[in-house]
Amino acid sequence: MPNANVRKPSPVIPQVVGKALPTLDPVNHVCRSTEDLHPELAFALKAILSQLTLENIPVEIYESWRAPARQNYLYTIGRSKGGIVQTRNQAWASLHQYGMAVDLGVRVRGDWDWNTYENSHMWARAHRLAEEFGLEHDYSWHFQMSGYELGDLKRAQFPPAGNKGQAWWMKLSEYAGQWNAHGFTPVAPLIPA
Ligand SMILES: [Zn+2]
């Protein structure tokens, strides 16, 4: 398992964590709930995190669903804004906007950590468990549902969600319906029967 992954810059800007931000601030608000995730991902995550807890590995959800405006803001960091590049993707090119990706972090006494070399074994264990539960990872903190092409998602070809997917499709529908930028208007998922 390569160790370089834990020395990458943190996935988002940790300084904003803990500040009193308006909960609906689309750029700065970090969503950590599994409610808005696709139910398959939420299920896998809960199982993975419980197992990590059993093994005394303090890995938690840092960011789950991410607003498209926040994705575009993060994209500017290290490009039009200063700092280290945070993401390769603009809005709707990241599975975070579809509720199909999550970023994890090591959290000790309230502090998030992505950079400590000695935590490599924790990440290796998280990656192994993710694979067992059918998730993809990039050998860092980003985990997502596997086997889905962005083009399919943009055409609303989503994995079936069933009755447990109501919060997921409501969130996705709301944001897809509002978004009309960069020449792409995402198609909202169909309301499950
Ligand atoms: Zn991510």
Q: For residue 86, how far is its CA from the centre of ligand 1 (angstroms)?
A: 10
Average pLDDT over residues 158-171: 86
**Whether the predicted pLDDT of 10 surpasses 90:** no
Cα(63) to ligand 1 centroid in Å equals 8
Contact 148, 100 (CB under 8 A): yes
* CA 27 to centroid of ligand 1, rounded, Å: 15
CA within 13 Å, CB half, 188: 17
Ligand 1 centroid, distance to 181 Cα (angstroms): 21
Q: How far is the CA of 94 from the centre of ligand 1 (A)?
A: 8
Q: Residue 90 in contact with residue 179, Cβ under 8 Å? A: no
Kindly state the tokens that stand for 174: 């709301």
CATH topology of domain 4-178: Muramoyl-pentapeptide Carboxypeptidase; domain 2 (3.30.1380)
pLDDT at 128: 98
**pLDDT attached to residue 177:** 74
**Model pTM score:** 0.82
Q: How far is the CA of 143 from the centre of ligand 1 (A)?
A: 7
Contact 90, 132 (CB under 8 A): no
Q: Give CA–CA dist 59/53, Å, rounded.
A: 8
The larger pLDDT score, comparing residue 143 to residue 5, is at: 143
Specify the higher pLDDT residue, 50 or 22: 50
For range 127-138, the mean pLDDT: 97
Would you state the pLDDT for residue 178? 75
Span from the CA of 193 to the centroid of ligand 1 (angstroms): 30
Instruction: Give the per-residue pLDDT at 149.
Output: 87
> What's the mean pLDDT in 70-74?
93
Cα 144 versus chain centre, distance: 7
> What average pLDDT does the segment 118-145 reach?
97
- 178 Cα to the center of ligand 1, angstroms: 22
From the CA of 11, how far away is ligand 1's center (Å)? 7
Q: How far is the CA of 22 from the centre of ligand 1 (A)?
A: 22
Q: Which of 27-31, 56-60, 135-139 has the lowest mean pLDDT?
A: 27-31
> Does the pLDDT value for residue 84 go beyond 70?
yes
Average pLDDT, the chain: 84
Name the more confident of 175 and 11: 175
Residue type for 184, please? F
